[in-house]
Structure 1
Amino acid sequence: MGFLSHQECDHLIALARDKLEKSMVADNDPDKSIMGEVRTSSSMFLTRNKIKLFLELSVGLPLGPSFQKILHYENGEKYGPHFDYFHDKTNQQLGGHRISTVLM
């Protein structure tokens, strides 16, 4: 058993399955996201309260404001090398920088 149980992983996958769309990447304009060749996955956002509550109960730790996205990669899809660091105030006000990622 890992960070999340098989049942918890299955639950998150089921929540996301019918809502996946082409993933976007940050643009130079902090208020805008664009499609880019560097990222070929699909993703979706769950409501913050729903996923935060589920994961906080699962792992017993409070989660930051940005933990709300589920990504799906098919064989051959990728998110190429990039920097996840933003200097602008908009991204800082939205919770700042990601400090962890959960793979399942």
Structure 2
Amino acid sequence: MGMAVVATMVALAGLVVPVGVVLVARQGVANAADAAALAAADAASGAIGGYPCDVADVAAGLNAATVTGCELDGLVASVTVSRTVLGFAIASSARAGPSP
């Protein structure tokens, strides 16, 4: 009986831990998208040097993500980034720019 309880707890932990890792990574990817969009918008406005989508790629890379989409509409940057965690592709998008 005791071994069955221990085995069940180990099995549940084996399921819960990866789910937790993916959920934490999802927030990290969202943060990477925010940082990349802000960096691209800053470059578009001239606040920092560089090409907006190149700067976004660097910002995403610093957050362990890869830019999969980058578009500019004037000074507004829309960026999509992704990262693969435990075999799951996680993507997030963000927009940044001056207030309308």
Question: If the length of structure 1 is used for normalisation, what is the TM-score?
Answer: 0.25
More strand by share: 2
Question: If the length of structure 2 is used for normalisation, what is the TM-score?
Answer: 0.26
More helix by share: 2
Of structures 1 and 2, the larger Rg is shown by 2
